[in-house]
Structure 1
Amino acid sequence: MSFFAGYAESIITPSLERPVYLAGFGRNRRATSVHDDLYVRALALQMEKVSLVLAAVDLIGLPRHVAQAIERGMQRTAPEAQLVLAATHTHHGPDTLGLWGPNEWTRGVDESYLDWLEQTIAETAVKALRTVQPARMRAASTQVTGVARNARDPAILDEELSCLQFVASDELRPLATLLVYPCHPEVLWDDNPHITSDYLHMMRFVVEQATGAPCLGMVGALGGMMTPAMPGHAFEDAARMGAILGGAALTALRDAPLQTVEQMEYRRRSFTLPLTNPLFQMAMRVGLLTGPLNEDGSLTTEASLLWLGDAAIFFMPGEVLPKLGLQYKAMLRAVGARHAVLVGLANDELGYILPAEAFLYPDDPLNPGAHYEESMSVGVEAGPKLTAALEALLAAALP
């Protein structure tokens, strides 16, 4: 059995010839310039009958029906392949969900850009599949402290940086590096008008300069919310955070053994959730948020699990709070994963996903106070339903 890896990327920065509403903070924040380009970075992984593309996109998030359309576009050329589309959740890219337009009643998505984006991501995924070559892997996990904090519950922190590096089997030359860290890309603050991927820009640059190979960044259980703990909100603060993370990754990978991947298994599980959040219900009624609902008003989402060598990666459809994230990592390690990796905002963006016992919907969701995360969550059942999905995936895909 041979393991293969390939890579492709495309710039997805929107043109400023039309208004670009930046997502993540307040409404009507229009982009005035581009500090660094936004990308889709696609990593193709293949082994036996499994063909999977992991695509990191520098966007706030994409709803499931858009992710499904992009996967179908890829499958018109590569019908055997599956796609995991994980948003980096940068707060300085275009609105791709609909909540950050010029006012509270106007959708902020440029539909022509979204159509182009769907095609570009699908084509980039196909290009990655066409570049695959025999590969091996390094895996490492390291604690990076002091760059992120939990603004909701400071005592609960996940500061683990997960690192996977894929290496050409014949030359031992790095092909691509995947890094996952649980923190919002929001070092730059709500007055920033410049398009940027925030701290991920420098994190990837540091690794790429040292390895000569591309680097993908994804985010983990960043709910809570896990936010940068830098001294300021300037570009130099974002660069400093990215450099710390990139340097930590290089150190961890330097000491990681090179392994022959003898196992690759990927499974998905879809599940339904009641949509109980009245703000989300209203946003759907007025057309800010789009996507199909089931006849009973619930929505369908998905989670998935990838076993790759001694690493297990759980892909989650939203912003999971770190208490749940730490629980999920423990579940993965309990069944044999040496490296337990969580990737958020994967193939859907449901907003925050909380433990049920911590969920308290605010009396006034427009002024939620300490319960902002509940005001931006589909409902109390999101956490238990996601936990049940992981339990089912583990039962079906034990190594």
Structure 2
Amino acid sequence: MAANLQFSIGHADITPEVEGRPAVWMAGYYHGRAATGVHDPLYARGMLLSDGKQKIALVSLDVVGWSYPSTVKIREQLPEIDYVIICSTHNHEGPDTIGIWGESPIKRGSNDRYNARIESTVVGLVQQLNTQLQPVTAEFAKIDRPDLIQDNRLPEVLDPTLRVLRFRSTIDQSYVGLLVQGTSHPESLGPKNTLITADFPGYTIQRLEEHFDCPTVYVSGAIGGLLAPPEEGVFNRQGVAEELGTFSYAETYGQMIADALATALKSSQPVELAPFDIVRQEIAIPIDNPLYRLARSLNVIRRVSYEWTGRPESWGQQVTREYRPERAAAITEVAVIRLGELYLLSIPGELYPELVTGQIPNPAEEHADFPDAPIEPHIAAMVHDKPYMLLGLSNDEIGYILPKRQWDRDPPYAYGRGLPQYGEINSCSPDVGPIIMATLARLWKQAEAAQGKP
């Protein structure tokens, strides 16, 4: 392991104040779900890596999503850090940080003061981590656990691979931190819960920290589709089946994920994590979703948009009340970060597992809206056997990212359904999947070409 690899890890509390007014509107499921209390705290959990030349910070938030403009604001306050990555676990049991789950569909659900608090907390956390770097080595492990997830959308496709990096101090050989990538929506508590909680990732982290006696950062992978906790197969230590939607389920399920990762680490392999290469690209994605466009016009979503030019790499004039082009676009970012032998793939939303595995219907399912759409590049074909971690909802939350030939909003519907499937309603456009994956494929080639260059 390169002697100049340094690392630090820590966390900071971002639990919202629930008592009093204004109400804390909880994210996900439906409008008007006000928090009534706090079951367990929410955190910003982060780590900082240095190869002696560059510094990369990765912070994961126990919230539903984080916008790219807010990520940029955080980066501007951390000029000493070469690259800052802000992920969200996509927690459905925390406050609305996007705006679309307010008291009603026409009322904004996020609190600007709370979001500003998260920003300042993240900045302070990264600044603190920058004073605590220590030399480390690292090891990587992964394990396939398809029994720990279910796909609630046809066709049923899973990315069942849990991935983990473990860091060890070169001073005393103790474990000093873990980076964990999960595979499922954090929604084990369901829509009836009104207590703030980190959901099952909080229990996964707690179990791992007890087992390895070191801090842990949890990120979500390809959870689009909709990959969710299984309704069956979760048993507590007494062998009793837990009921989805309960805290006992969340705890047992979170511990099962932690135990799977601990098993994987029994056969972990050393991995060189230096030097670093950071390859990133700002891109435009069209906002064709009529609900998103309405939310923006009602000031429910407060995000600057631009004229869609038809080219992801460039965009037109900023949209204003006076200038409303036929198609608007949001600016987001895709990145490939090479840490020595390991890659971090940064995706700004909820990626469908088909775009990881390549299991895209060919030919397309009958009645799909775009049956002749080209099949997108997929991650398995890019990376082959190289170790990587997938950072979903990374630096942004643009919604679902699905293969275009699976888009199915217009009747008649695929699979003989009488109604459309869930997914497209929370996607910006059928063009998002092709744009994101083409960008990722291009950045991957750039990162590979940069390997070994000074």
Q: 1: CA distance between counterparts of 2:443 and 2:281?
A: 7
Counterpart residue number, 1:48: 52
Letter in 1 for 2:27: A
Residue number among 403, 406, 421 corresponding to 1:358 in the alignment: 406
Q: 2: CA distance between counterparts of 1:350 and 1:260?
A: 32
Query: Deviation per CA, 1:197-246, whole angstroms, max 9, x where unpaired?
Result: 11101110111001111111110110110011044211111111111110
Residue number among 424, 433, 436 corresponding to 1:386 in the alignment: 436
Q: 1: CA distance between counterparts of 2:277 and 2:163?
A: 19
Which shifted more, 186-195 or 152-161? Answer: 152-161
Counterpart residue number, 2:281: 269
Q: 2: CA distance between counterparts of 1:247 and 1:154?
A: 29
Letter in 2 for 1:73: Q
Q: 2: CA distance between counterparts of 1:72 and 1:254?
A: 40
Check conservation: 1:273, 1:300, Cα contact below 8 A.
yes
What SS does the aligned partner of 1:45 have?
strand
Counterpart residue number, 2:107: 106
Counterpart residue number, 2:371: none
Distance 1:253 1:379, change over 3 A: same
What SS does the aligned partner of 2:108 have?
coil
Check conservation: 2:14, 2:41, Cα contact below 8 A.
yes
Superposed displacement of residue 54, structure 1 = 0.6
Which structure has the larger Rg over C-alpha atoms?
2
Q: 2: CA distance between counterparts of 1:386 and 1:86?
A: 17
Residue number among 244, 248, 251 corresponding to 2:260 in the alignment: 248
Check conservation: 2:56, 2:83, Cα contact below 8 A.
yes
Which shifted more, 320-329 or 136-145? Answer: 320-329
Distance 1:44 1:381, change over 3 A: same
Q: 2: CA distance between counterparts of 1:155 and 1:259?
A: 33
How many residues of Structure 1 are paired with residues of Structure 2 in the alignment?
391
Superposed displacement of residue 118, structure 1 = 1.0
What SS does the aligned partner of 1:394 have?
helix
CA RMSD of aligned residues (A): 1.7
Counterpart residue number, 1:294: 306
Answering whether residue 105 of structure 2 is matched by residue 74 of structure 1, we say: no
Check conservation: 2:408, 2:420, Cα contact below 8 A.
no
Superposed displacement of residue 362, structure 1 = 4.4
Letter in 1 for 2:397: E
Residue number among 35, 41, 45 corresponding to 1:37 in the alignment: 41
Counterpart residue number, 1:213: 214
Counterpart residue number, 1:171: 172
Counterpart residue number, 1:317: 348
TM-score (normalised: structure 2)? 0.83
Check conservation: 1:34, 1:196, Cα contact below 8 A.
yes
Check conservation: 1:58, 1:89, Cα contact below 8 A.
yes
What SS does the aligned partner of 2:77 have?
helix
Q: 2: CA distance between counterparts of 1:206 and 1:108?
A: 32
Q: 1: CA distance between counterparts of 2:430 and 2:118?
A: 32
Q: 2: CA distance between counterparts of 1:201 and 1:230?
A: 19
Check conservation: 2:138, 2:165, Cα contact below 8 A.
yes
Q: 1: CA distance between counterparts of 2:73 and 2:356?
A: 28
Check conservation: 1:74, 1:123, Cα contact below 8 A.
no
- Aligned-residue identity in percent: 28
Answering whether residue 290 of structure 2 is matched by residue 278 of structure 1, we say: yes
Counterpart residue number, 1:57: 61
Q: 2: CA distance between counterparts of 1:387 and 1:84?
A: 19
Check conservation: 2:146, 2:158, Cα contact below 8 A.
no
Q: 2: CA distance between counterparts of 1:128 and 1:362?
A: 50
Distance 1:319 1:260, change over 3 A: closer
Gaps of 5+ in 2: 233-243, 309-327, 359-377, 413-417
Superposed displacement of residue 260, structure 1 = 4.3
Answering whether residue 269 of structure 2 is matched by residue 257 of structure 1, we say: yes
Counterpart residue number, 2:195: 194
Q: 2: CA distance between counterparts of 1:151 and 1:376?
A: 15
Letter in 1 for 2:420: A
What SS does the aligned partner of 1:166 have?
strand
Answering whether residue 357 of structure 2 is matched by residue 326 of structure 1, we say: yes
Superposed displacement of residue 154, structure 1 = 5.3
TM-score (normalised: structure 1)? 0.94
Check conservation: 1:147, 1:229, Cα contact below 8 A.
yes
Distance 1:287 1:323, change over 3 A: same
Counterpart residue number, 2:156: 155
Which shifted more, 41-50 or 345-354? Answer: 41-50
The aligned runs of 1:220-231 (5 Å cut-off) are 220-231=221-232
Q: 2: CA distance between counterparts of 1:184 and 1:134?
A: 34
What SS does the aligned partner of 1:136 have?
strand
Superposed displacement of residue 259, structure 1 = 3.8
Check conservation: 2:272, 2:342, Cα contact below 8 A.
no
What SS does the aligned partner of 1:298 have?
strand
What SS does the aligned partner of 1:393 have?
helix
Counterpart residue number, 2:334: 303
Counterpart residue number, 2:24: 20
Check conservation: 1:362, 1:374, Cα contact below 8 A.
no
Query: Deviation per CA, 1:181-211, whole angstroms, max 9, x where unpaired?
Result: 1210001010101111111011101110011
Query: Deviation per CA, 1:40-79, whole angstroms, max 9, x where unpaired?
Result: 011101113221101000000011111111121223xx2x
Q: 2: CA distance between counterparts of 1:331 and 1:128?
A: 36
Q: 1: CA distance between counterparts of 2:340 and 2:146?
A: 27
Structure holding more helix per residue: 1
Distance 1:211 1:285, change over 3 A: same
Q: 2: CA distance between counterparts of 1:11 and 1:177?
A: 19
Check conservation: 1:352, 1:373, Cα contact below 8 A.
yes
Counterpart residue number, 2:132: 131
